[in-house]
């Protein structure tokens, strides 16, 4: 299971939402081997006065938080990070300097999904990759 939150300026998200979502989802599907139909993205659109960031970032600046079930190797997480940076640059044109990503690993027993504790679910994809 994975949940993705994308924070950015309202103008950037309104203009690029679909491309950003596709760039992230493509990376998660290819690296974490999520099923293609498991897209859980939430966009948090912020006005300029509500999104404070360093002058070294542009108006395209994005913060991406990926919350997922623990179990993936450090190597697969690094590969995912690099794939997202590359995809967003290639698909949307947002420079890598304007993207920050956090992967938040949560033990499976701390998830509640479809009315069950996570450790009682049968998932249709692998966690330990």
* Residues 7-51: tens digit of each pLDDT: 999 999 999 999 999 999 999 999 999 989 989 999 999 999 999
Domain range for 7: 2-120
DSSP secondary structure code for residue 108 in this structure: G
Say whether pLDDT at 129 is over 80: no
Beta carbons of 84 and 23 less than 8 angstroms apart: yes
Q: Is residue 114 part of a domain?
A: yes
Is there a domain that residue 69 lies in?
Answer: yes
Q: How many domains does the chain have?
A: 1
**Are 88 and 23 in contact, with CB atoms under 8 Å apart?**
yes
* Cα–Cα distance for residue pair 37/47, rounded to 1 Å: 31
What pLDDT score does 115 carry?
84
| Structural element, H or E, at residue 85 | helix 74-92
What confidence tens digit (pLDDT) does each residue in 56-112 have?
Answer: 999 999 999 999 999 999 999 999 999 999 999 999 999 999 999 999 999 988 888
What CATH number should be reported for the domain holding residue 16?
Answer: 3.30.429.10
Using DSSP, state whether 126 is helix, strand or coil.
coil
């Amino acid at each position: 299971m994975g949940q993705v939150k994308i924070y950015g300026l309202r103008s950037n998200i309104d203009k690029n939402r679909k491309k950003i979502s596709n760039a992230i989802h493509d990376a998660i599907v290819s690296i974490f081997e999520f099923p293609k139909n498991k897209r859980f993205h939430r966009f948090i659109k912020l006005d300029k006065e509500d999104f404070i960031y360093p002058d070294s970032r542009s108006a395209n600046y994005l913060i991406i938080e990926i919350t997922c079930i623990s179990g993936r190797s450090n190597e697969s997480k690094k590969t995912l990070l690099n794939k997202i940076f590359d995809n967003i640059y290639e698909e949307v044109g947002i420079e890598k300097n304007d993207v920050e990503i956090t992967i938040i690993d949560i033990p499976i027993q701390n998830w509640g999904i479809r009315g069950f504790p996570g450790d009682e679910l049968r998932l249709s994809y692998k966690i330990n990759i």
